[in-house]
Structure 1
Amino acid sequence: MLFYDIIYMVMNVFLKKDKRPNGRIYLSIVQGYREPGTGKVKQKAVKSLGYLDELKKEFEDPIAHFKEVAKQMTKEAKEAVRPLTFNFLADETIDTSFTLRKNLGFSVLSFFYHQLKIDGFLINRQRNLDIDYSLNNIFQMLVYLRVLYPCSKKQSFEKMDDFFLNFDFELADVYRALDYFNFYKDDLLLHIHEMVRMVYGRDMSNVYYDVTNYYFEINESDSLRKKGVSKEHRPNPIVQMGLLMDNSGLPITYRLFEGNTNDCETLMPVLDDLKDDFGLKRIIVVADKGMNTGENIAYNILHKNGYIYSQTVRGANADLKNFVLSDEGYVQFGDGFKIKSRIVPTYIWVTNVSGKRVKVPIEQKQVVFYSPDYAKKARYERAKAVEKAKKLIRSSRLPAKGSFKYIMSTPCDRETGELYECVDFYSIDEKKIEEEKKFDGFYAIVTSELDMPDREIIDIYRGLWRIEESFKITKSELKTRPVYVSTKEHIEAHFLICFVSLLLLRLLEIKTEYKYSTKTLINEMKNITGTYVDENYYMFDYFNEIVEDLGKVAGIDFSKRFMTLGEIKKIIAQTKK
């Protein structure tokens, strides 16, 4: 049983000369297309013309005449939408030999990928290599899939046909390519930095730094993957990553460290790379209290950099605590927010050339502020921890890390109350809680920028949330961990792919004016898919305001409901210009 569905589509036609068994030539105008999956050329008759010998009675040169007719039909079809009839069999089954539904949303990522000329970098490097697969094609595939369908390298290879891409390589080539990606990593990061600077502009007056770690599904440590303080409280071996971000929220570069490396020890090596390789002048390093060490401050001073670090208040010395709690000097703003600052001579502990720890005097600006919102958050989090501590005491279980600081232990007999050394009696440390309450809502920042206004210092420091959000994106949307590759070279390549994926997403956020979350952008790109209909045509069934904005960024019209494979390829080619 046949049914017909009339749609409107541009068609490309040509004159066909068919020699029949009787020796006569039959002319017809046909539409040509290539069948997906098989690549076989198919044709569909558009207009039957008749036998050549009979047409010669009417036309001096029928072949030339109808070639011109076919040419004109194609031209008119490009200028005006024409009806096209698709035929379907009601009992037709799905052909599993090729993918019927393919993603075109990746073309938005392709636009940024090629604007950064990552393709040119990899193609140029490959000229010196004796390999028969494309490093650029493999890298593209891994980046696009890391954004849209994050999975293992093997699964990425298996999902390759889900895109409107024509890549030709084997799974083994993917793993071999990882070694080359690692080899060219530093050069590629520098190349990307230069392209971001030239195409989009780089504001590196302030650079933000933070550290996180990623776990592996293994039990034993090795030279890189070691057991350390996991941000996710997992027992697995981890690697540390230090990430630098510019003033616009775009990642600059990163470096991996052994899993047992202290956070504060990672800053100087990353800054060394940044200053040497990227040729930067004076920068202001913005980081949280984990980087606030004497060595890091001394490093910035010696290299003529500035710094803005957070400073613990509850763990500060008595002088700073008294300064924070004194009402004198605060400037009041709306909603209870208040700020004050002072410039004080202070000392930092550093290790000298002899390996001894010594005190070094410096001048430092201390900016403190009170936020009612921060106070409310502190009270809420402490109440949760105290309640958890009470439950642990009642259940006689060992205290958990988060609540341990609110539990005090007193040797005593629980029945008589008599104190002795054999049994510990656990109770809530009320004095500690009362001491903490004094500092609820107060925050301190220390900086080398003595002349910078207080509000500007606070605003700059608050920009650190973008790097924290970047880490969340890598762990949630990009699913950077767990990491399934095992050699050091492949691990480095994996994080390079994740870094580039993060950068493309951040650029897309900026170009869409931060109207949408990264999760929304990813989901919308995933939804831009076409389903094979017939005769090399694909039908697209998803379009909205967000998709329209994505199209405007990349210069693509995603509103067309029907497109030929040729038109789709033109769209993809357009993103590479």
Structure 2
Amino acid sequence: MSPFVRRVPGRPGVTLVQIVDKSGGQYKIVKHIGSARTDAELAVKMEEAREFLNPGQGVLDFDAVDSAAVGHTAVLGAKRSGLLIDTIDTAYRRLGFDIVDDDVFFQLVLARLVEPTSKRDSVRVLNEIGANPPHCNTLLNAVGRARGRKYRDQIAEKCYRYAESTGGVTLCLYDVTTLYFEAEKEDDLRKVGYSKERRVDPQIVVGLLVDRHGFPLEIGCYEGNKAETHTIIPIVKQFQDRHGIADMVIAADAGMLSAKNLKDLDDAGLRFIVGSRLTRAPGDLATYFHWEGTATDDGRIVDTITPRGAKCLDPERVNTRAEPIWADESHPDAWRAVWQFRRKRAVRDRQTLTQQRNKAVAIIDGDKPARKTRFVRVKDAKKSFDEDAYDRAMSLAGWKGYLTNLPAATMAAAEVIGNYHELWHVEQSFRMSKTDLRARPIFHRTRDAIEAHLTIVFTALAVERYLYAVTGWSKKRIITTLRPIIETTVTIAGHTVAAADPVSDDAAYIRDALTPRG
């Protein structure tokens, strides 16, 4: 083990500072630095010990302190997590976010990244890292400015420019989530609605558009009882109008699937890839099942068509073995449908179906309380197991469908599937905003304050995604690595010198990753 600094209690009120080495379970004193009776003296001794271990780090220079310093008390200056602040500031400026000429807004973003908390408690966070925090009222005033001066528009423009330079926005991913409030009453925005977490608190619906790597491009806020399917068009149109984009592909999950949504996207000249519901499979795959049966090889892809609305496909098409090749002109009442079978997915689906069967049987037998459950058929108040529905579901296990208005000549079926499965990036961004940045619960009441809060979260998310792209490290790992590295000043007899903790290998990696090359 390498030598390290150890503080040892001495006589009452005295702390000994030593350089020690540990080998064979025994501590060996390499050098006794000295004793300290005050915090200031302890700081000096600790810096002297660090300098001994890491010579040339630019810490306390005792040669600069002349003999007049003897007998004087060392005075510690302000402490600052300088490397942490500088790292976040570098990412913020690299993204061009300093176009927002508001230092207090940056401090709100900084606090949100370091330790997400309320706006009032952000003063404590900023103070602990030595970021020279303003008064709480100044922070709250910046929240008001964020909405009034349209900071989000400026940030979104820079996000687009960054995404455009790192892969483009020809494919964008969209998803929604809900953010709840610690509030008892609803208002025009905060309403009780469908919650994936089954909460009954007032909430808002938030839509997030990201690039293929999960970098945020656009965020929108809607009433808590608004259907998810009604959010995608406003967000996409807002993004188009902001940047003058016409040619792009939108990928979204099956929750966004509605005939009107797909028509609106198509009418807007946008291409889409959305997840299809399994209930469409029997009709879409009728030709394949007719000629090939239900036994399928792993990875099998079927490129076919699906009806745009309630209208069914021509039942006579099963007489022709070849699947139709979709084109907007030749199939005005259909979309292109790509289906894939995966054996691993089939195993998982069958396990789920077996659990659902067991639950249904338990309800029918009276072993579990009655409730609406799949495969339970009720007729004349008598419950029975729907064997046909169960067998049909088992026959479709392993199949996953994708709807698109992209012709095969533009995008191959395998590429359609691959692009859809990039959606995990937007899900990851939502997890970051909810957990890493703690976007919820929200304590604001007015729409302007809520929108400003989302602007701060949106900006912090962009910085976090940038740092992740550059370092490959999570925000938590970056913060825990850099926050303990403290810079301070020590004044003895009028001489002020800088002191800093040694930079660890991990911290040096982060610092170097953000250092321009060439």
Shorter-chain TM-score bucket reads 0.7 to 0.9
1:472 aligned to 2:434? no
Amino acid of the structure 2 residue aligned with 1:155: D
Tell me the equivalent position of 1:17. Answer: none
- Give CA deviations for 1:135-184 in whole Å, capped at 9, x if unaligned: x22222221221221111111122211223234x2111222221211121
Matched, 1:366 2:344: no
Alpha-carbon separation, structure 2, partners of 1:217 and 1:494: 15
CA contact (8 A) 2:353 2:394 kept: no
TM superposition shift of 1:252: 0.7
Identify the residue that residue 494 of structure 1 maps to in structure 2.
Answer: 453
For structure 2, the 5+ residue unaligned runs are 1-13, 15-33, 36-44, 312-330, 492-496
Q: Residues 146, 447 of structure 1: CA spacing in aligned structure 2 closer, same or farther, 3 A cutoff?
A: same
**Quick one: which amino acid aligns to residue 530 of structure 1?**
I
- Alignment match, 1:152: 118
Q: For residue 322 of structure 1, what is the amino acid of its counterpart?
A: A
Q: TM-score, normalised by structure 2?
A: 0.75
Letter of the structure 1 residue corresponding to residue 255 of structure 2: G
Question: Cα distance 1:396–1:251, how it changes in 2: closer, same or farther (>3 A)?
Answer: same
Q: What's 1:405 paired with?
A: 374
Structure 1 residues 447 and 279, CA, compared in 2 at 3 Å: closer, same or farther? same
2:249 corresponds to: 284
- Determine whether 1:511 maps to 2:470: yes
Letter in 1 for 2:309: I
Where does residue 529 of structure 1 map in the other structure? 485
Contact 1:190 1:278 in 2 (8 A): no
State the Cα distance separating 1:330 from its structure 2 match.
11
Paired with 2:161 and 2:130, the residues of 1 have a C-alpha distance of: 27
Of 196, 202, 226 in structure 1, the residue corresponding to residue 191 of structure 2 is 226
Give the corresponding residue for 1:340. Answer: 302
After TM superposition, the structure 1 = structure 2 runs for residues 309-320 of structure 1, keeping only pairs within 5 Å, are 309-313=274-278, 315-316=279-280, 318-320=282-284
1:435 is the counterpart of 2:403: no
The Cα of 1:247 is off from its aligned counterpart by 2.5
Q: Is the aligned partner of 1:553 residue 2:513?
A: yes
Of 160, 165, 168 in structure 2, the residue corresponding to residue 203 of structure 1 is: 168
Residue correspondence of structure 1 range 101-500 to structure 2 within 5 A: 102=81, 104-119=83-98, 121-123=99-101, 136-167=102-133, 169-183=134-148, 184-197=150-163, 200-313=165-278, 315-316=279-280, 318-323=282-287, 325-326=289-290, 328=292, 336-343=298-305, 346-348=307-309, 361-386=332-357, 396-399=368-371, 404-409=373-378, 429-450=386-407, 451=409, 452-500=411-459
Q: How far 1:510 sits from its partner (Å)?
A: 1.6
- Secondary structure of the 1:280 match is coil
Shift of 1:229: 0.6
Query: Match for residue 74 of structure 1?
Result: none
Is the deviation greater in 259-268 or in 471-480? 471-480
Displacement, 1:523? 3.7
> What is the DSSP-based 3-state SS (H/G/I as helix, E as strand, rest coil) of the residue aligned with 1:511?
helix
Cα offset, 1:341, TM superposition: 0.6
Instruction: Tell me the amino acid that sits aligned with residue 10 of structure 1.
Output: G
Change (3 A) 1:486 1:330: same
**C-alpha displacement of 1:496:** 1.0
Report the counterpart of residue 58 of structure 2 in structure 1.
10
Conservation of the 8 A alpha-carbon contact between 1:104 and 1:529: yes
Whether contact under 8 Å (1:331, 1:339) holds in the other structure is no
CA distance in 2 between counterparts of 1:162 and 1:331 reads 63
Q: Show the counterpart of 1:567.
A: none
| Equivalent position SS for 1:154 | coil
1:266 shift after superposition: 0.7
Query: Is the CA contact 1:324–1:368 (under 8 Å) kept in the aligned structure 2?
Result: no
Letter in 1 for 2:89: S
> What secondary structure sits across from 2:121 in the alignment?
helix
CA-to-aligned-CA distance 1:322-366 (integer Å, 9 cap, x gap):
246456499987xx221121246x33379xxxxxxxxx9444221
What residue identity is the alignment partner of 2:242?
D
Q: CA deviation at 1:253?
A: 0.7
Amino acid at match of 2:84: G
- The separation in 2 between residues aligned to 1:323 and 1:144, in whole angstroms, is 57
Q: Secondary structure at the match of 2:213?
A: coil
Question: Cα distance, 1:231 vs. partner?
Answer: 1.8
Q: With structure 1 as the length reference, what TM-score do the two structures score?
A: 0.68
Per-residue CA shift, 1:469-508, capped at 9, x if unaligned?
Answer: 1111111211111111221111111111111111111112
Q: Assess, with a 3 A threshold, how the Cα gap between structure 1 residues 338 and 106 changes in structure 2: closer, same or farther.
A: farther
Q: What is the Cα deviation at residue 105 of structure 1?
A: 2.0
Q: Secondary structure at the match of 2:183?
A: coil
CA distance in 2, matches of 1:142, 1:166: 12
2: distance between equivalents of 1:507 and 1:277?
A: 22
Relative to structure 1, the CA distance from residue 287 to residue 323 in structure 2 (aligned partners, 3 Å threshold; closer, same or farther) is: farther
Q: Distance in 1 between matches of 2:389 and 2:126?
A: 57
Which letter does structure 2 place at the counterpart of 1:498?
A: V
Higher deviation after alignment, 493-502 or 432-441: 432-441
Task: Confirm or deny: 8 A CA contact 1:99 1:162 kept in the other structure.
Answer: no
1:46 to 48, 51, 66: 66
Aligned equivalents of 1:247, 1:548: Cα separation in 2: 29
By how many angstroms is 1:197 displaced?
Answer: 4.9
Cα pair 1:330 1:340 within 8 Å, conserved: no
Alpha-carbon RMSD across the aligned residues, in angstroms, is 3.6
The match for 2:23 is none
**Partner Cα distance (1:196, 1:475) in 2:** 23
Where structure 1 has 5 or more consecutive residues not aligned to the other structure, the ranges are: 14-28, 32-44, 50-84, 124-135, 351-359, 412-420, 557-577
